[in-house]
Structure 1
């Protein structure tokens, strides 16, 4: 039998594309949490009213919008990743966004 040797399977180029997209997605989504948080803080300092108590000044904060766009790019990349690779490969990589956002220190 040819090619039946080790029992393992090679990753197809589509699977590799899906994995790369899923990794990029996690990076974008994780970074977006940090960027939006910095935008929220900047808006609270500028207006004196936090978003948590009814302030909407963050909608005028460009940094918050950069974070939102970063999140959208990450979610689109995640969606496209499922077109190239099976969910069993893509879904666990989505959890990396939590590590990206939690692993970055930003001072109060």
Structure 2
């Protein structure tokens, strides 16, 4: 994205997601969760139905810039450079943003504790 475009958490963007091989990438929708300097943390958005406790069906997908019913996958986080965000297509509605934050608070935390194996 151009440097004149401001991205903020809650934005729905298209991003170039690199394959694990690093040899290619695919443009996919993501939700921006937070910004850190030139980097950002995003979660995947897919048209697949929710399949686990960290998946959330977006109720307001059309007004958020998505073309089909979509699921926000908080279990699929990615840290990337903001320059990999190719275009802002929308923003989570307040209702979906509250649902994402609620899911985050309930399910995203370390699965280990110091002193345990």
TM-score for both structures, normalised by structure 2: 0.24
TM-score for both structures, normalised by structure 1: 0.25
Q: Which has the higher strand share?
A: 2
State the structure with more CA Rg: 1
Q: Which has the higher helix share?
A: 1
